[in-house]
Amino acid sequence: MSEMQPGGSMPLEPTDATVTTTTTTTAGPKGHPMVVPFVIAAVAAVLLGTTWINAAGSTPKAATVVAASGATTTIAVSTDGSVTATTEHDHGTPAVVAPVEYDPSKPVNLSGVAGVTPAEQKRAEALVTLTLKDLPHFADTKTAIAEGYKSIGDQFTGVEHYINWNYLTDGRILDPTHPESLVYDSSIPTKRTLVSAMFMLEKGQSFKDVPDIGGPLTQWHIHDNLCFSNDPQQPRVLGITSSDGSCRAPLIKFTPVPMIHVWIVKNKCGPFAALEGVGAGQTEDGSERACDHVHGGS
């Protein structure tokens, strides 16, 4: 899917209204339908306003919003539950970390960051809150495996990613009940501890398709240097690319898609921090990695 197509929505002032958080449908690339996860509806809940009339003549109850990162997102939620969103991007703003230490045992507080609007803060906090609520369902890797997740074999890095490859084409994004990837602490060989969701966009998408959730609070990244086994059932990381960016046969390189972590354990760089070291990945050209000064100082 590329940019979500306009549906006649209009930006409204935020209010404190609420909306049912259910999976809904909107227009995807070239007019094809796509599923917008309930988190988008939840995010829209803090931004509901007045009435909007769509092309079909139904009367929605909601619409949204504006983003200070330079990206503007308008989300309209109708009374039948459908969502239409339009996003315009400007990725020139460097990523930032909230000054309040991220501690999942406490209420999520991403305030105090210059350049982040109240709407962006609420959307980012909503995504973290929902992830903290729903992700522990996958605490046991047996549950993850039973629901279609497969390890990519990167436990040697200190974390192990389990990916449900079907979720990269299911039309859902940012859905804590259907995260594309689960991240487990593998520092103890005989134990796996769930530490993060890794939400991924659909196959074929790029940074230009990244939805604005929290403005500069939320930094997406890609992994453009990994070589996988040529196994359609369970690809595994077996190396990194050569100097020319290619993988030596029979290993293969996937076209990377943007992804973002949401941590459910303490992280000095905030709930959306990327990994460090070999697993860090790459941010968009021209952007500054969040928390680089912290990485270099500890």
CA–CA distance, 209 with 23 (Å, rounded to integer): 20
Strand partners, 26: 34
CB–CB of 205/149 below 8 Å?
no
Asked whether residue 10 carries a pLDDT value surpassing 60, the answer given is no
Model confidence pLDDT, tens digit, residues 274-287: 876 445 666 665 55
Structure tokens at 89: 């991007």
CA–CA distance, 181 with 47 (Å, rounded to integer): 29
Q: In this structure, which amino acid lies at residue 280? A: A
Asked whether residue 125 carries a pLDDT value surpassing 60, the answer given is yes
Pairing of strands 72-77, 83-88: antiparallel
Asked whether residue 205 carries a pLDDT value surpassing 50, the answer given is yes
The whole-number pLDDT of residue 179 equals 98
The whole-number pLDDT of residue 2 equals 34
- Chain position carrying tokens 């270099």: 296
Query: Where does the pLDDT of residue 237 fall: very low under 50, low under 70, confident under 90, or very high at 90 and above?
Result: very high
CA–CA distance, 180 with 166 (Å, rounded to integer): 8
| Least confident window among 119-123, 137-141, 283-287 | 283-287
Q: What is the pTM of this model?
A: 0.66
CB–CB of 282/221 below 8 Å?
yes
Strand partners, 259: 200, 221
The whole-number pLDDT of residue 76 equals 44
What is the DSSP secondary structure assignment for residue 135, as one 8-state letter?
A: G
The whole-number pLDDT of residue 279 equals 52
Q: Which of 54, 58, 26, 61 is nearest to 40 (CA)?
A: 26
* CA gyration radius, the chain: 19
- Structural element, H or E, at residue 123: helix 118-134
What is the DSSP secondary structure assignment for residue 35, as one 8-state letter?
A: E
What's the mean pLDDT in 204-229? Answer: 91
N-term to C-term CA, the chain: 39
Sequence-distant (≥ 6) Cβ neighbours of residue 31 within 8 angstroms: 5
Q: What share of the chain is helix, strand, coil (3-state, %, to 5)?
A: 20, 20, 60
Model confidence pLDDT, tens digit, residues 12-61: 233 333 333 333 333 444 444 444 444 443 333 333 332 222 333 333 33
Q: Which of 155, 202, 193, 197 is nearest to 177 (CA)?
A: 197
CB–CB of 237/281 below 8 Å?
no
Model confidence pLDDT, tens digit, residues 95-109: 678 899 999 999 999
Q: Domain residues of the chain, as ranges? A: 24-88, 118-297
CA–CA distance, 285 with 206 (Å, rounded to integer): 12
The whole-number pLDDT of residue 90 equals 41
The whole-number pLDDT of residue 157 equals 87
